[in-house]
Amino acid sequence: MLQGEKLRKHLEPSAMADHRFIHEEKSALKRDTCTDGTRVNILDAITKWANDSSMDSPPVFWLTGQAGSGKTTIAYTITKGFGKEKELPTILGANFFCSRQFGETRSLQRIVPTIAFQLAEKCQSYRTGLLEVDTSDAVHCHTIQEQIEKFLIKPWMEQKLRRDLQTYLVVVDALDEIEHIEKSSFLEQLLKSFEKDNITGLKFLVTSRPDPDIVELCATLPTDTICKLQDVPIEDAKLDITTYLDVKLKHLNGTPELSKLNEQSAGLFIYAATVVKILTRRKLDKDEQLSLLRPLLFSASSDFGSIDQLYRHIMRDAFSDLDNGLLSTRLCVLNTFLCSAERISASVAASLVDTQIGIARMVLDSLYAVLYVQDGKVYWYHASFPDFIFSCARSNFRVDVKDFSFSCDTAAQHSLLAHACFRIMNSKEIGLRFNMGEIKSSYLLDVEHAEELRENVDKNISPVLRYACIHWVHHLSAVSVGHSSSLCEVLSEFIQFRVLFWIEVMNLLRLSADCFYLLQDAGCWATKVQEPASAFNFRLIIFPH
């Protein structure tokens, strides 16, 4: 068996899925390296630390800053620099870019298996030690502490790393985007392991927003291994943004409007980058770019440096002239893109909210500065945009005498999407039914007619039905008591009459192992939102034994 296949089998199910996903995700998410001549001092500091292989060099470097300050761009630049084939002392060992856009990259349990898989591909002696680790229990069933000790530190220590071997850099970006109440536990356990064991040859660059728990943890790090972007002198940040804007908006070099944009950005790269997207979507001459830029400058003149002002302008420009009915529909489409459990296409979003695909495409077209389509699926450029939409205080506002309300009630939206999933699964046209795989004989194993079965699955299980089957519990679990009453009845009916068809589809999608845990989560939700007696009866339906 090839080494890569051994590793996948050894770390299944997490690492195999994660490793494949990392490469798919890289091609989907649009990331740029730092523009030449920008962030020079920060990149030099990180590079110097990473290349320092001395025994007293700290193993962890923490890069922090507010949303939109450029942490991910810096981290991505570092991975590109150390990812090239190079001589001693340091090469890129692994990277994990946390992101709320995907289930795999917002899961705390996925970080260590993914790092282990990538690191084992780079370092043969570590791979040998990793393959000797007992994996009688699945990797994702271990706690973070156990994962770090068993699958990272132990095989690394057992390889007896020599002084003259390369140092391996691991980059973990946006740790604050992990969907876990103890999102800092990865860093906490990592620091404890380094403190306890004499680990050499392994370094971690970690980036995050200034989350209070992470701030407290990193207070013990040496000051020269902490970079707070919020503490970078504003003049230095403005110089970097000037360089960036001069490269991206060459037509406007030397204009007072470009200088005003730099002032207005106030060191926040996401502000400048979003304006650049607005001005460069199509080929425009200087006058056309200026005509688009001037309203953006005026819109934020009262609040320099606020990304909210820019997002408010974008939302007003996209939705302010619509009547209430059309506005409600388009906002519902937008909220579906932002609240979906995985990235979805415009057609899936339209089906979920029961509207025309043309309306979903219009939403994307009007919000091109903050959303984009890659491989048929919709992504957001930066997490600060959903943060803005999910905050009433930020996305509900008044301009002159007119009130605007663009905020998303996430509980209500998840309730709508949960209902949508059940509606689709119960649909007579595209919903669940007996023998979705059109299997001719129950005596045949799946492998005996795999190609025909795959064709039938693609034909009978539409993308929106696939989404509904996989993610109905995700949306259900996010629904609060106030939005749950009608869902309880729909769910109970589904469990009684459709659940076996659903299990069949999950098996056809090779996700049958998830069924028990999803039903368990549904039962826990029912217990939380129902009266005790009815909850008990519901749980008996799911778990009759």
Q: What angle do CA 384, 32, 181 make, to 5 degrees?
A: 40
- The architecture in CATH of the region 313-405 reads Orthogonal Bundle (1.10)
Instruction: Determine the average pLDDT of the residues in 275-291.
Output: 93
Residue 18 scores a pLDDT above 80: no
pLDDT at 14: 45
pLDDT at 486: 85
Q: State pLDDT tens for residues 416-471.
A: 999 999 999 999 999 999 998 888 777 677 766 777 788 888 999 999 999 999 99
Matching residue, tokens 């999608």: 509
List the domain boundaries for the chain: 3-231, 234-305, 313-405, 411-542
- What are the CB-based long-range contacts (under 8 Å, 24+) for 455-461? 457/508, 457/509, 460/436, 461/436, 461/505, 461/508, 461/509
- The architecture in CATH of the region 3-231 reads 3-Layer(aba) Sandwich (3.40)
Q: What are the angstrom distances between the C-alpha of 175 and each of 72, 99, 190?
A: 11, 9, 13
Task: Starting at the earlier edge strand, list the strands of the sheet with 167-173.
Answer: 90-97, 167-173, 202-208, 60-64, 226-228
What are residue 135's phi and psi, to 5 degrees?
-120, 40
Return d(Cα 348, Cα 364) in angstroms, integer: 13
pLDDT band at 135; cut points 50, 70, 90: low
CB count in 10 Å sphere of residue 282: 7
Instruction: Determine the average pLDDT of the residues in 146-171.
Output: 80
Q: What angle do CA 248, 250, 252 make, to 5 degrees?
A: 110
pLDDT at 378: 97
pLDDT at 204: 96
Specify the 3-state DSSP secondary structure of 170. Answer: strand
Return d(Cα 205, Cα 214) in angstroms, integer: 14
For residue 396 the two structure tokens come to 């509900």
**Strand duo 396-399 + 402-405: pairing:** antiparallel
pLDDT at 162: 47
Q: Which of 263-267, 354-358, 497-501 has the lowest mean pLDDT?
A: 263-267
Q: Which of 24-28, 223-227, 232-236, 260-264 has the lowest mean pLDDT?
A: 24-28
pLDDT band at 320; cut points 50, 70, 90: confident
pLDDT band at 316; cut points 50, 70, 90: very high
Of residues 32, 165, 15, the one with CA closest to residue 96: 15
Residue 526 scores a pLDDT above 70: yes
Q: State pLDDT tens for residues 77-110.
A: 999 999 876 666 899 999 999 999 988 888 888 9
Q: Which residue has the higher pLDDT, 164 or 77?
A: 77
pLDDT at 17: 42
The mean predicted confidence, pLDDT, of the chain is: 87
For residue 357 the two structure tokens come to 């695909």
Chain length of the chain: 545
Residue 207 scores a pLDDT above 60: yes
pLDDT at 533: 46
Residue 171 scores a pLDDT above 70: yes
pLDDT band at 7; cut points 50, 70, 90: low
Residue 6 scores a pLDDT above 80: no
CATH topology match: 3-231 vs 313-405: no
Q: Which of 309-318, 382-391, 530-539 has the lowest mean pLDDT?
A: 530-539
pLDDT at 15: 43
pLDDT at 19: 42
